[in-house]
Structure 1
Amino acid sequence: MENNIQKIKIAEFISRLEFGGAESMLLNYTTHFKNPNQFDFHIITQDINDINCIRQFEDAGYTVHIVTHKRKSIAKNVCEIYKILKKEKFDIVHSHMTLTNFYVLFLAKLLGVSVRISHGHSALREEGVKEKIAYPVLKFLNRIVSNIWIACGENAGVFLYGKKAVDHHKVYMMKNAIDLKRFQRNEVIRHNIRTQYGIGEEICIGHVGRFCTPKNHMFVLDIFRAIKDLQPDAKFLLVGDGELHDSIHDKVKKLKLEESVIFTGNIKNTNEIYQAIDVFILPSLYEGLPVVSIEAQAAEISCLISENVDHRCAITENVHFLSIEKSAEIWAKEILDYSRQPIKTSVFDEMTKAGYNIEVEACKLEELYKRKVYQLKQGD
């Protein structure tokens, strides 16, 4: 097969390039391919990116294409994407935009791209009238223009492709695998990071995620305030950035947490940041199977996660779930309780067996790309 497939040209579509989420997962996978020289990777993204993240992809060998955001002009967005696809003549188009995968895959189909991958990274809520009308249509369009279906977890797969498709194994589960060795517990790194951010022996609660509505940062800050009332010397690490930057900073001031909340911004050494954290929290409004939940477990820290997150993220005994309908005060008490309990260590083998070791899982995606290009070009 390898003799028939030389440079496989792949377009990866991501809504934005920041540090985390789908872009982090993609970089993890493709930088661990055994034969990266057999691939020509391009990434196509909208014009709302972190320049440092763009550089990170370029350093990894990607060609980065930036197009007009849909919110600015749908016509320009579609036209620019069409021109890129027509010029580059990709073998594979792999879209990571969940519900909006359909339109780039439709353009790819028009231009004769043989492998069109729809990838679901989250399970969204269908609460409003608009969502209940629009989501089923978008899901249907995704299914008919793609010929490979991928999801990060079962909830995300059921949301985008339906339970029947998941149950009949028509959806390839591409877990949010990571480089487990980089996250293993390290007391030297813990000391260095805590010193860097001015954290002594006091408890440190952490959250990692883009500053956006689904991550529920306002509730995160309410929890921080409740913890502070119970344990005045507590510190809080907020890792990430995003569109809610200003409102989150404003709330920190309103709650008088300026001296306790540490903003790291978007950083590359997230694996080291986990070492400084005693309890990781993720009170999200909704999630598929978040990478950060896997990273936190690999770092061997206690995790308190929203009931709305796919429970399959609990690979180890260090994960606990709690409803976001519960008050911030209840969350605070649970967090402090877990901070005092022993944690399970030596989780490497357990997480590898569960499919979260990138050195093992990246090979599967690499082979999928090769196999599908070969099969579909042969008319299989």
Structure 2
Amino acid sequence: MRVLTIVSKLDIGGIEKTLLSCLPFLNKESIQLTVCCYAKGGHLEQQYKDAGTEILYFKRSRVPFYDAVQLYKILKSGKYDVVHSRFGFTSGAFAIACKWLSIPFIVSVHSERYFAKPKREGSIVLSAITRAYLGTHKFFTLRYATRIIGHSKTNLQYYTNSQTVSDKFQLIYNGIDFSTLARNSPVLTDEVSRFIADSKCTFLHIGSFREPKNHLFLIDCFKALNPIQEKYKLILVGSGSLFEQVRRKVAVEGLENCVYFAGVDQNITRYLLNADLFFFPSIYEGLGNVLIEAQYMKVPVCASGLQPHHEATHAYYHQFFFDPYDVNDGADKLRRMIKTIRSEEINDAVIGDAQQFVLDNFTIERMAGNLATVYKAIGSK
């Protein structure tokens, strides 16, 4: 069976990492994936090629009809049993192309909402254009998609409501390759080791430097804890368009000796093993894979109170959730978590329960098995 999967770029993001981890399990089910993306040079591209995955490229536009024609040409040049789009909110054009060729079409919804640039959301005209654009995609997705998969219950709600009853919709939680986390080297670089040597509490955040990850808010919360006097340290793993802006803010706030920019590092195990808590203040998320990874590595998590975060974390940690727009609330929850850690209320039993929670719900084997079942069910019709 051949499945064409459409992504934006094979970079180090939750979608791309998860899909890469699924490949061995899908191969065992005789499912061959071809990845189609509109940008070259992602950090994971070579790993996909090494795994034997064919990669195609196309020029994505903002004109749905043109996107449909682009995909139509790709599908006409090769025989595919199923097409799977990871562009949850903007997959309508791909649905049209698959309808033209009678190829089963799946849409994955990886986020709870579509993120528009702030200047677009603040403009009446641009907001109206965005709504019309998304509405067009939503109409054709609902009309022509064979299956719509939400990778959290919240994500799926974009296409459904409480009255919706249909086998078109399905929940498949993201999976984590826990074995890779366990195998990774635990050794920090000498530079990072020196940075945290005198730390009384080491905070960790992993995520791309983009607006949804809320890095500027994160720095404000960290500053509110008086980290210089308290000897707190913060490690930020990732890169992205806001990297330099966040670095400048750290410098302006006088926190350069308290914040370490680790850049892109696929081995997050060594940071998790040396963190006292994981701080995740996203404005919105699809599920929050790194929250799951942190719990598996027995790191307490303090996150924004998004509904997907409630799904991704053990119930014990919900008491530390906060409003991602309220710095006082975020800082207060961090103080409470530090106090709770030091009082040993967050003990081995709590941490063990959280680890078991993610093992019960978010294994890569479970996710890949569910995807294989869907591919075979609709691809055989």
**Cα gap change, 1:164 to 1:262, in 2 (>3 Å):** farther
Q: What's the TM-score once normalised by structure 1's chain length?
A: 0.84
Q: 1:331 matched to which residue of 2? A: 330
CA deviation map 1:313-363 (0-9, x unaligned): 223524531112322x4423421331342242324443233x212223322
CA deviation map 1:148-192 (0-9, x unaligned): 110111110001333433x65642111012123444699x92xx3
Q: Indicate if the aligned counterparts of 1:91 and 1:373 stay in contact, CA closer than 8 A.
A: yes
Answer yes or no: is 1:352 the counterpart of 2:345.
no
Q: 2:316 matched to which residue of 1? A: 317
Match for residue 88 of structure 2 among 98, 103, 123: 98
**Cα gap change, 1:164 to 1:296, in 2 (>3 Å):** farther
Match for residue 192 of structure 2 among 197, 215, 227: 197
Q: 1:60 matched to which residue of 2? A: 51
Task: Kindly provide the amino acid, as one letter, of the partner of residue 39 in structure 1.
Answer: I
Aligned 1:151-166 pairs, distance under 5 A: 151-165=150-164
**Cα gap change, 1:141 to 1:231, in 2 (>3 Å):** farther
Answer yes or no: is 1:177 the counterpart of 2:175.
yes
Q: What's the TM-score once normalised by structure 2's chain length?
A: 0.84
Answer yes or no: is 1:18 the counterpart of 2:11.
yes
Match for residue 371 of structure 2 among 365, 368, 373: 365
- State the SS of the aligned residue for 1:345: helix
Q: Indicate if the aligned counterparts of 1:67 and 1:77 stay in contact, CA closer than 8 A.
A: no
Which ranges of structure 1 fall in alignment gaps of 5 or more residues? 1-7
CA distance in 1, matches of 2:303, 2:22: 25
Q: Indicate if the aligned counterparts of 1:123 and 1:160 stay in contact, CA closer than 8 A.
A: no
Match for residue 31 of structure 2 among 14, 28, 39: 39
- State the SS of the aligned residue for 2:302: strand
Task: Kindly provide the amino acid, as one letter, of the partner of residue 60 in structure 1.
Answer: A
Task: Kindly provide the amino acid, as one letter, of the partner of residue 66 in structure 1.
Answer: Y
Aligned residue pairs total 358
CA distance in 1, matches of 2:80, 2:59: 20
Q: 2:295 matched to which residue of 1? A: 297
- C-alpha displacement of 1:80: 4.3
CA distance in 2, matches of 1:133, 1:175: 29
Q: Indicate if the aligned counterparts of 1:125 and 1:286 stay in contact, CA closer than 8 A.
A: no
CA distance in 1, matches of 2:268, 2:99: 38
- C-alpha displacement of 1:111: 2.5
- C-alpha displacement of 1:125: 6.1
Aligned 1:170-319 pairs, distance under 5 A: 170-183=168-181, 189=186, 192-193=187-188, 197-198=192-193, 199-202=196-199, 203-229=201-227, 231-310=229-308, 311-319=310-318
Q: 2:118 matched to which residue of 1? A: none
Which range moves more in the overlay, 139-148 or 81-90? 81-90
Q: Indicate if the aligned counterparts of 2:228 and 2:258 stay in contact, CA closer than 8 A.
A: no
CA deviation map 1:176-218 (0-9, x unaligned): 12123444699x92xx337551322511111111221111111
CA distance in 2, matches of 1:212, 1:309: 20
CA distance in 2, matches of 1:77, 1:134: 13
Q: Indicate if the aligned counterparts of 1:183 and 1:272 stay in contact, CA closer than 8 A.
A: no
CA distance in 1, matches of 2:337, 2:76: 54
Q: 1:118 matched to which residue of 2? A: 107
Percent of aligned positions with the same letter in both sequences? 25
